[in-house]
Amino acid sequence: MAAEIHPKPLTRRPVLLNKIEGSQDVVNAAVIIPKEDGVISVSEDRTIRVWLKRDSGQYWPSVYHAMPFPCSCMCFNPETRRLSVGMDNGQISEFVLSDDYNKMTQARSYQAHQNRVTVVLFVLEMEWVLSTGLDKNFTWHCSESSQRLGGYRTTSWVSCLQFDVETRHAFVGDHSGQVTIMKLEQESCSLVTTFKGHTGSVTALCWDSVQRVLFSGSSDHSIIMWDIGGRKGTAIELQGHNEKVQGLCYAHHTKQLISCSSDGGITVWNMDVKRHETPEWLDSDSCQKCEQPFFWNFKQMWDSKKIGLRQHHCRKCGKAVCGKCSSKRSTIPLMGFEFEVRVCDSCYESITDEERAPTATFHDSKHSIVQVHFEATRGWLLTSGADKILKLIVPTGGKCYRPNSSQYMKNLRLPKLPLTSVNMCKGVWPHCLLTLFRKDHFRLRPPAPRHTKLESIYCSPEEPDTVSSSCLENYLIVLKNTLSQK
């Protein structure tokens, strides 16, 4: 079957909170520091940098550490402030950051692989450091003694890794397109099963320990949701990218899957809907609708004196059909097809407008994404680009209000708060001014056009028309002169 060119859906730009520039080469990995206005990044320029937000609103490095080899991956544990960095020579170095994130001390370093380290994971509960490399080895070491505990040889080099602490299952995605599940013990491992569903290499994995669901992204532009907890072998396919999937993150509070691709596309999937598996494609020597022979069915072609037709498949029913019987295109969001795909004429008529309602939103990050990290407490997404730039963005979920002088914004109701709780916090200026209303209520109104340095305010996804109290604590919502005039 020939590849289909999918039309690019309408996209909207996500809310850009900040850009971090200064790296001399591609940033291979970066994480947001929880409960801090900070970011940790490792780069091909052999540097580890800890970026902290200054009073000016810009991020500047508080730690700049040069490594002997390019840094390929990293893992940061905020509880212990332990940073594990994998390098191009197969070595893993561990560091401990100070309380104020202004100092970094090297704890240990050991040779884990014979080639570039692709993924490193630190498991605090087990005191293990899991790692994979281009040498096709999956290993785990003791984080206290640096002793190698065990390893597993894969058939292809590993590109992504996830671990479930409760069951000690490791999920390994490799370049051949399969996901291998292994049960780890202290010094041994056993193969559980292997998932095969992608036609390209597995490039991203995301494990949801609550729902017991594994998401896998691939260079074939698709995402597969493997329902491991349901024990029914269910695999839901999601098609919403035009390039290979580079990162996957799951937001529990909004039940959304965030996927990013190498062309800068960010897709946010609503997973709070009942989705259906895509049907298997049926084999047939003739069209299962009009019974016209396909071009390899010489006997029927000779008997009917007709030229054979090309075979296609309906994405909804899976039947083998000819081009004339499948001339229509339609989206099928509940089956994961956010783009228009080929369907037979009968299935096209059966699809209702409700079934065509999209279950995903599309955004454009405006740079080629290499790696992503999602900070769930604030709903922030950190993207590393091939342009050597880090972007802190709010992908979706809440509403970002950006009023302008030509369009007046409606008032928003805010929760009752004591006057003392509304104060200046961290010097961040929102787009909307807050005015005192009826003593204990506040309302948002658009600012005057002269306020050009104001930033947007982010509302909670649970109550999109209400600004939460935590939002008030993180942003400067009240101008001193506004309250003083009241």
The mean pLDDT value for 117-139 works out to 93
Dmax over CA atoms of the chain, in Å, equals 93
Quickly state the pLDDT bin for 426 (edges 50, 70, 90). very low
Residue 433 pLDDT > 80, yes or no? no
CA 273 to chain centre: 19
Q: How far apart are CA 453 and CA 458, in angstroms?
A: 16
pLDDT band at 283 (very low <50, low <70, confident <90, very high): confident
Least confident among 35-44, 48-57, 87-96, 303-312: 303-312
Nearest to 481 by CA among 421, 420, 433: 433
Would you place residue 213 in the very low, low, confident or very high pLDDT band (cuts 50, 70, 90)? very high
**What gap in Å lies between CA 473 and CA 486, rounded to an integer?**
21
Percent of the chain with pLDDT over 70: 78
CA atoms of 82 and 34, how far apart (whole Å): 13
* DSSP code per residue over 404-461: BTTBPPPP-B-----GGGS---TTPPBSSEEEEETTTEEEEEPPPTT--S-B-EE--S
User: What residues contact residue 353 under an 8 Å CB cut-off, 6+ apart?
Assistant: none
- H/E stretch holding 365 reads none
Burial class (CB in 10 A: 0-12, 13-18, 19+), 151: middle
Give, in order, the Cα–Cα distances in Å from 73 to each of 85, 93, 190, 287, 445: 6, 11, 26, 50, 45
What pLDDT is stored for residue 366 in this prediction? 87
**Residues 165-212: pLDDT tens digits?**
999 999 999 999 999 999 998 888 899 999 998 999 999 999 998 889
Radius of gyration of the chain (CA): 26
Q: Is the pLDDT of residue 429 over 50?
A: no
- H/E run at residue 255: none
Task: Please state the pTM of the whole predicted model.
Answer: 0.75
| pLDDT for res 445 | 39
pLDDT digits (tens, 9 = 90+) for 227-258: 987 667 788 999 999 999 999 999 888 889 99
* Per-residue pLDDT tens digits for 389-401: 999 998 754 333 3
Q: Which pLDDT value is given to residue 323? A: 87
β-pair type (104-111, 91-97): antiparallel
Reported as a pLDDT band with limits 50, 70 and 90, residue 43 is very high
Angle, alpha carbons 174-177-182 (nearest 5°): 50
Residue 200's pLDDT is what?
Answer: 93
Mean predicted confidence (pLDDT) in 309-329:
89
Q: What is the pLDDT of residue 308?
A: 75
448 or 31, higher pLDDT: 31
d(CA 170, CA 146): 20
Residue with tokens 């003791």, as numbered in its chain: 142
pLDDT score for 105: 94
Could you tell me the two tokens for 67? 């490594």
What's residue 303's pLDDT? 77
* pLDDT tens, position by position, 5-33: 455 454 455 688 899 998 899 999 999 99
User: In the numeric block, which tokens belong to residue 467?
Assistant: 């600004």
Q: CA 479 to CA 434: how far, in whole Å? A: 8
What is residue 408's predicted lDDT score, i.e. its pLDDT? 28
Q: 3-state SS of the chain: helix, strand, coil percent to 5?
A: 5, 45, 45
| Mean predicted lDDT score pLDDT of the chain | 79
| Rounded Cα distance, 325 and 417, in Å | 63
pLDDT tens-digit series, residues 351-381: 988 888 898 989 888 889 999 999 988 889 9
